[in-house]
């Protein structure tokens, strides 16, 4: 049982003995003791005043006396401040808690809920490489999945790849016209970068054609619509949907290059998926459902042949589902994808990790799925997050408009290598490969922590220089704390055991209390879908340890029992840091 649960049992017994009344669990309220008062936990006694018919301060004092006399040694002393009973918990309890943490291999993890959650994240387009926005998306999605697993959910991590549509045809057409057979092998480029270059090339040539048509007297909208390149791309999309063998073969070849590039980036980023869906497979399912909705009267067809949903009664507008030429839109594809997912898995909760610019889209999707008769329609969760940007001039991008994920990771690792060069060189016997591996863990740890520590609902500015600092609220600071503890444990004698119980220094007590908070922190992060909760906890734990380490000797403590206690404490701080950072997808180096 938790401390609150144990104390609640004692409080019920005390209130019954003192006032011959039964109290409910809901009437027992616990708070953290305010810093100006002595105590570890505070009982609010106001709910008992009416029943006991005594002043709040008197009730607090009487319950406090009962707990210290009959509390099985749990409460060492107390102080009553009006209607608040501040309890000082015996050192023996905290030491038992530390020992229990030490023996629990899965400390912080919640029991199996026997429920399945699907978390969708990444959702890249196969016309360009992953960029900074994808980095935040992937890190949030992967961390949310890890946190929910720790909260007892069975989690299926899924990705929907946008592998069809006009944007894909633009890259394909540009490669046909200007590529001269270039491949990843011949160019030395990752496949996703190569295809991204041709998407940029299409845009460049398209703008040139628009300018030429406008110079010939066309207005801008007409020029955009009649530009030969756009007409060719639209014709290519129609051929793709008609299963034209040449177009499909080109599409398969170029997408295979992109997938290989994506896989390399995902692996380096440390994220993974259990199931990948492709829009090329799901859009037909969506079209089929839209046709059913049309037949049932849920949707309607306009004179030009396009199909729409009227959502005005839901406070929204009208939504296009099929274009006049019969081609589908993203909404149609998402309907088909949702249908397939719920066919494939017994999903209890479906979570979409998608930026906040898509909030309207998911409101509409939920309504449409409900209209189509899918029971899961109203239960979809859109995990909406803000955008991420870099300070101007901090980093160039491959395309000149967005920051490439691979470039960002390269820079983070290089920065870590440069900043930690002096520290690494002080480690005896370290090889160049080991130094590079430390730099990789630190660089990516800095990137992940800096992005995940921000409230996901907020827009954020990612500053590479600030994120890599070994001091302050950063990943490297927490990683360094873990490595410091490992150094201490390596220097300790091979066998050390805690003998008779010792009294706790305030720094030791604060650290044990922080460790005891971890399961509640994991629950909180799961309930709120917030990796930032884990980040804040890991930072606070690291700060508490460094304060403890600064003030109290571990290896040079002459008292063997105290030394054993501090080693046990350090060992479990490292254990929980590793666990917490693991929920964020961050690795911990053994040496730094």
Contact residues for 8 (Cβ-Cβ < 8 A; gap 6+): 25, 28, 30
Give 402's contacts (C-beta < 8 A, 6+ positions apart).
Answer: 131, 132, 133
Helix (H) or strand (E) holding 430: none
Q: Look up residue 207 and give its two tokens.
A: 């703008």
DSSP 8-state secondary structure symbol assigned to residue 552: S
Which of 89, 114, 136 finishes a domain? 89
Percentage with pLDDT > 70 across the chain: 96
Closest C-alpha among 506, 507, 503, 541 to residue 521: 541
**170, 204 contact by CB (below 8 A):** no
Q: Residue 19 sits in a domain of what CATH number?
A: 3.30.1360.70
Banded pLDDT at 393 (limits 50, 70, 90): very low
Model pTM above 0.85: yes
Per-residue model confidence (pLDDT) at position 396: 45
Q: What integer best gives the mean pLDDT of the chain?
A: 93
Contact status, residue 170 vs residue 127, Cβ threshold 8 Å: yes
Question: Are the beta carbons of 136 and 251 closer than 8 angstroms?
Answer: no
Q: Is the pLDDT assigned to residue 516 strictly greater than 90?
A: yes
* pLDDT band, very low/low/confident/very high, at 327 (cuts 50, 70, 90): confident
Model pLDDT, residue 426: 55
- 207 inside domain: no
Q: What pLDDT score does 520 carry?
A: 95
Going by the DSSP 8-state scheme, the letter that residue 480 receives in this structure is H
Structural domains counted in the chain: 2
Q: Is the pLDDT of residue 400 over 80?
A: no
Instruction: Look at residue 103 and tell me if it is in a domain.
Output: no
Q: Which long-range contacts (CB under 8 A, 24 or more apart) does 557-563 make?
A: 559/502, 560/496, 560/499, 561/498, 561/499, 561/500, 561/502, 562/502, 563/496
**Domain, as residue range, for 477:** 407-583
Alpha-carbon Rg for the chain in angstroms:
30
Q: Is position 276 within any domain?
A: no
**Torsion angle of alpha carbons 332, 336, 337, 343, nearest 10°?**
160
- Count of helix runs (H) and strand runs (E) in the chain: 23, 14
Residue whose token pair is 């037909």: 284
Report d(CA 434, CA 180) in Å as an integer: 42
Q: What was the pLDDT predicted at 330? A: 87
Q: Given the structure tokens 């460790």, which residue do they identify?
A: 515
At residue 389 the predicted structure's pLDDT band, cuts being 50, 70 and 90, is: confident
Residue that terminates a domain, selected from 61, 89, 117: 89
3-state secondary structure of 241: helix
Q: Return the beta strands (E) in 440-550 as ranges.
A: 460-461
pLDDT band at 394, cuts 50/70/90?
Answer: very low
pLDDT score of 512 more than 70: yes
Query: pLDDT at position 535, please?
Result: 98
Residues in the chain: 592
Q: How far is CA 362 from CA 101, 354, 365, 368, 384, in A?
A: 42, 9, 5, 10, 10
**Tens of pLDDT along 242-293?**
999 999 999 999 999 999 999 999 999 999 999 999 999 998 899 999 999 9
Residue 398 has pLDDT above 50, yes or no: no
- Please say whether the beta carbons of 415 and 464 come within 8 A: yes
**Are the C-beta atoms of 269 and 138 separated by less than 8 Å?**
yes
Residue 288 is assigned to a structural domain of this protein: no
pLDDT higher for 470 or 332? 332
Sheet-wide strand order for 307-310: 300-301, 307-310, 318-322
Q: Which of 44, 64, 89 is the last residue of a domain?
A: 89
pLDDT at 15: 95
CA distance 364 to 372: 12
Specify the pLDDT at position 75: 96
- Beta-carbon contacts of 186 under 8 Å, excluding residues fewer than 6 positions away, are none
The DSSP annotation for 310-348 comes to: E-GGGTS-EEEEE-TTS-B-HHHHHHHHHHHHHHHS--S
Longest dimension (CA), the chain: 96
Angle at 254 between CA 245 and CA 272, to 5 degrees: 120
Say what percent of the chain tops pLDDT 90.
84
DSSP string, 252-299: HHHHHHHHHHHHHHHHHHT---SEEEEHHHHHHHHHHHHHHHHHHTSS
Output 423 or 297, whichever has higher pLDDT: 297
| 532 falls within a domain | yes
Local structure of 238: helix, strand or coil: helix
Quick: pLDDT tens for 465-489.
Answer: 888 888 889 999 999 999 999 999 9
Residue 517 lies in a domain: yes
The pLDDT value recorded for residue 64 is 97
For residue 423, the model assigns a pLDDT of 58
401 belongs to a structural domain: no
Average pLDDT on 125-132 reads: 93
How far are the Cα atoms of 139, 418, 427, 437 from residue 432, in angstroms, in the given order?
28, 13, 11, 9
Task: Kindly report the CATH number assigned to the domain that includes residue 559.
Answer: 1.10.730.10
Q: How far is CA 366 from the centre of its chain?
A: 23
Average of per-residue pLDDT across 399-427:
78
Residue 430: inside a domain, yes or no? yes
Asked if pLDDT for residue 499 goes beyond 80, the answer is no
Name which of 231-240, 335-344, 370-379 the model is least confident about. 370-379
């Amino acid at each position: 049982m938790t401390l609150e649960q144990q104390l609640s049992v004692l409080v019920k017994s005390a209130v019954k003995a003192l006032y011959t009344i039964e109290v409910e669990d809901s009437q027992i309220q616990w708070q953290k003791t305010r810093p100006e008062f002595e105590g570890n936990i505070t009982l609010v006694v106001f709910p008992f005043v009416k029943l006991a018919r005594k002043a709040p301060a008197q009730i607090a004092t009487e319950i406090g006396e009962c707990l210290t006399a009959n509390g099985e040694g749990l409460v060492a002393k107390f102080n009553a401040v009006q209607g608040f009973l501040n309890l000082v918990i015996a050192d023996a309890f905290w030491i038992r808690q530390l020992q229990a943490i030490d023996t629990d291999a899965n400390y912080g993890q919640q029991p199996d809920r026997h429920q399945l959650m699907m978390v969708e994240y990444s959702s890249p387009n196969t016309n360009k490489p992953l960029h900074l926005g994808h980095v935040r998306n992937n890190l949030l999605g992967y961390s949310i999945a890890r946190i929910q697993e720790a909260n007892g959910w069975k989690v299926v991590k899924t990705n929907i790849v946008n592998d069809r549509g006009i944007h894909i045809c633009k890259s394909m057409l540009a490669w046909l016209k200007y590529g001269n057979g270039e491949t990843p092998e011949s160019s030395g480029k990752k496949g996703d970068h190569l295809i991204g270059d041709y998407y940029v090339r299409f845009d460049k040539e398209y703008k040139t054609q628009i300018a030429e048509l406008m110079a010939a007297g066309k207005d801008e909208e007409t020029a955009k619509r009649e530009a030969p390149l756009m007409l060719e791309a639209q014709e290519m999309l129609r051929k793709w949907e008609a299963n034209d063998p040449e177009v499909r073969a080109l599409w398969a070849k170029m997408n295979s290059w992109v997938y290989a590039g994506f896989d390399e980036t995902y692996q380096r980023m440390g994220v993974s998926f259990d199931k990948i869906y492709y829009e090329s497979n799901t859009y037909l399912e969506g079209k089929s459902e839209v046709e059913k909705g049309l037949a049932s009267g849920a949707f309607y067809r306009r004179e030009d042949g396009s199909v729409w949903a009227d959502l005005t009664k839901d406070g929204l507008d009208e939504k296009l589902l099929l274009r006049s030429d019969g081609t589908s839109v993203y909404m149609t594809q998402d309907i088909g994808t949702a249908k397939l997912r719920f066919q494939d898995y017994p999903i209890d909760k479906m979570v979409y990790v998608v930026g906040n610019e898509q909030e309207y889209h998911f409101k509409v999707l939920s309504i449409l799925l409900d209209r189509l008769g899918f029971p899961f329609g109203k239960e979809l969760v859109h995990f909406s997050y803000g955008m991420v940007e870099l300070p101007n001039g901090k980093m160039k991008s491959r395309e000149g408009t967005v920051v490439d994920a691979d470039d960002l990771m390269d820079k983070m690792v290089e920065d870590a290598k440069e900043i930690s060069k002096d520290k690494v060189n002080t480690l005896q016997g370290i090889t160049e490969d080991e130094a590079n591996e430390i730099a990789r863990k630190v660089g990516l740890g800095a990137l992940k922590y800096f992005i995940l520590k921000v409230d996901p609902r907020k827009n954020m500015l990612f500053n590479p220089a600030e994120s890599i600092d070994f001091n302050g609220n950063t990943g490297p600071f927490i990683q360094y704390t873990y490595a410091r503890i490992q150094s201490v444990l390596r220097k300790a004698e091979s066998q050390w055991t805690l003998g008779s119980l010792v009294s706790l220094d305030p720094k030791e007590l604060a650290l044990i209390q922080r460790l005891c908070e971890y399961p509640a922190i994991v629950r909180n992060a799961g309930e709120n879908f917030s990796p930032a909760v884990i980040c804040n906890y890991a930072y606070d734990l690291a700060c508490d340890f460094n304060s403890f380490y600064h003030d109290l000797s571990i290896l040079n403590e002459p008292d063997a029992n105290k030394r054993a206690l501090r080693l046990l404490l350090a060992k479990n701080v490292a254990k929980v840091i590793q666990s917490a950072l693991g929920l964020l997808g961050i690795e911990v180096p053994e040496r730094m």
